[in-house]
Chain A
Amino acid sequence: MSLASLGTATLFGLCGAALAGIGLFIVIAHAGLLRRIVGFNILGAGIFLVFGAAARRGAAAGFSGDPVPQAMVITGIVVAFSATALAVALLQRLFDLTGRESLDAPAASDKQQAEP
């Protein structure tokens, strides 16, 4: 049993590593901001799985996993959701104001005058 559970933990830990890589790729290589926000969520999911692997490996004292990293993941999921909500709201505002959904248009701020 312990060998099997070790296998599961490591397998999902490696899955987390791969997901983090894929998420990072989406964040870096996609220009569309909505897709990048999804990428952040996949990166986050990968990170949480690394915590999950640590938690599963730490099964002891009658618990099927170490509760401390599990609780951290729950906190992390909620924080990630808040970040997604703020990013989406900013993106919608940008879209309402400019009709764009990416940041790659030339920044005009250098030429604009400052407004107080």
Chain B
Amino acid sequence: MTPLAPASVHLATPGGYLLVLAVTLPVLGVLAMLVVAPRHARQVALVTMAAGLVTAIAIVAELIRTGTALTYVVGGWQPPLGIALRADGLSATMIAMTAMVITATGLFARGLYALGPKAQDGRAPTTFWGLLLATWSALNAVFVGEDLFNLYVALELLTFAAVPLVCLDGRAETVAAALRYLMFALLGSLLYLLGTGLLYGSYGTLDIQMLSRLSEGGPALSVALALMIVGLLAKAALFPLHLWLPPAHAGAPAAASAVLSALVIKAPVFLILRLVLDIAPPHAAILAGQILAVLGASSILFCSVMALRQARLKLMIAYSTVAQIGYLFIVFPLAAGNEAQAPWETIAWTGGALQLVSHAFAKAAMFLAAGVIAEAFGHDRIADLGGFGRVLPISAAAFGLAGLSLMGIPPSGGFIAKCLLLTAAVLNGHPWLAATILAGGLLAAGYVFRVVDRALATPAIALVAQKPIPRRLELVALALALAAMLLGFVPLEPFGFLQLGRSGAMAGVAP
């Protein structure tokens, strides 16, 4: 009856239940929070974070131990009727990164909300904890999802968790920023859903593994992929669809900005990677890769210049996010692979993944440091921050170290990432991309040094903090910046963990 009748390709692995825990545990925390007294929300969040962190570590350990991807078939219903969850090396890396950044942000927020004069069980703190955990579940669901409709629900969960985070402080500009963000995100989700509908109508399955085996081109496939990728680009804020991001990420409370910039926009990027690499037929993947690379390069150049011109620290960091996301899109032509090498065996694949992770740590560190600065001085106008390094040496150090990673200066994860991408660009004969990577690094140096220069300046009137900042808050940002640096000790070669669970999956369509 079914013309395609694909055989199921998912075999559950013993550690697969860990993926269910990764998706459900944070959400269970949210449900608990809705019921307990508001003053306990923080404790629930911290307990959930500990559990989630353990789960993430267990997933990575299980992947290393078995040397293959983890798979779980929910309810025992095999795809295409049911839904499978799967974590390969890249997914597990994303899960571990998410767990670390969320936990660090949680520790930071706990300290920051303790500073406030208002009751800690007020509107903003209570809501923050729920939204933070929901974001975590949604991210994990995106990273392990195998079914395109399940991924749609996960993306919407992410939207509904992220948008209210933007306007937690309730000012009119942030409400406007949140609304603009919601408009872009909804348009993105709907275009994605539209593509999903076309794929179902054409192939009768939404399982990525199955689609990767049976996709032969056709107008429906091209239209569907184009719609889905454009939708996801709106969510990922790639130039020229980035207009919503700077006000939203700069207006959110610092802890929320860190999560939004470091993690939330990585989810659509990750999905675009999966669509292009796993579902698109080879010739379409090459074309899509080239278009994405042009947009990525424009993002790097345009938004780095915009970052240079910002007067406010948080807006500068937000523009830097759009620029750094651009690097993830120039990976596509560089990691296109060839007869001898599959995409995930190239140095560009490792470089892209490293850029993704090191940007997450560095950007979270920067936003948290900026949050400390804004909290201490009551503003974040770069020009008026002269000498802030004397008052807040740890935050200045965190900002500077994170900046090294964004610029691509050793030793830092950003350096290895950009070095690998640059090498790949030169070797594969993409001189324009190589030039863009170098120019992006120089521009990043420009905007980071503007702030570092202020930190080290000696103003006529010494800057004083309006309120004491506990050391603990500053140390969280420093720890994240150090994590971004430690990634600089990853060897300069294709990294084995990122290839786990990849090669077998794609045997059917590997060129």
Q: A89 to chain B: closest CB distance in Å? A: 9
Q: Indicate whether A69 sits within 8 Å of B160 (C-beta atoms), given known contacts A94-B175, A103-B180, A114-B313.
A: no
Query: How far apart are the CA atoms of A79 and B310 in the complex, in Å?
Result: 37
Q: Tell me the bound Cα distance from A27 to B191 in angstroms.
A: 12
- Contact check, B172 vs A97: say whether CB atoms are below 8 A apart: yes
**Scoring A residues 47 to 62 as 1 if CB is less than 8 Å from chain B, else 0, what string do you get?**
1001101100110110
The SS class assigned to the A binding surface is helix
Q: Which of B163, B172, B176 has the most CB of A within 10 A?
A: B176
User: Is A51 in contact with B380, judged by CB distance below 8 angstroms?
Assistant: no
Which A residues are CB-close (under 8 A) to B149?
72, 75
- Interface code A28-65, partner B: CB below 8 Å = 1, 0 otherwise? 00000100100010011001001101100110110000
Within 8 A of A (CB), among B9-52: none
Q: Is B354 in contact with chain A by the CB < 8 A criterion?
A: no
B194 within 8 A of A: yes
A83 touches B156 (CB 8 A): yes
Q: Decide if B201 touches A54 in the complex (CB within 8 Å).
A: yes
With A and B bound together, what is the CA distance between A108 and B378 in angstroms? 18
CB <8 Å contact, A50 and B169: no
Closest to B243 in A: A107
Q: A58 to B176: give the CA distance in the assembly, Å.
A: 43
Report the bound CA distance from A97 to B164 in whole Å: 16
Cross-chain contact of B175 among A20, A79, A97, A107 (Cβ < 8 A): A97
Task: Check A79 against B371 for contact (C-beta < 8 Å).
Answer: no
Q: Given B156, B180, B201, B371, which contacts A116 in the complex, CB threshold below 8 Å?
A: B371
Q: Which residue of A lies closest to B309 (CB)?
A: A110
CB of B156, distance to nearest CB on chain A (Å):
5
Q: For A57, what are the chain B residues with a Cβ–Cβ distance below 8 Å?
A: 201
Q: Which residues of B contact A2 (CB under 8 A)?
A: none
Closest Cβ–Cβ distance, residue A68 to chain B (whole Å): 7
Question: Bound complex: CA of A67 vs CA of B189, how far in Å?
Answer: 22
Q: Chain A residues with Cβ under 8 A from B186's Cβ?
A: 40, 83, 87
Known: A93-B170, A107-B247. 11 other contacts (CB 8 A): A72-B200, A87-B182, A87-B186, A94-B172, A97-B175, A103-B180, A107-B173, A113-B381, A114-B250, A114-B312, A114-B381
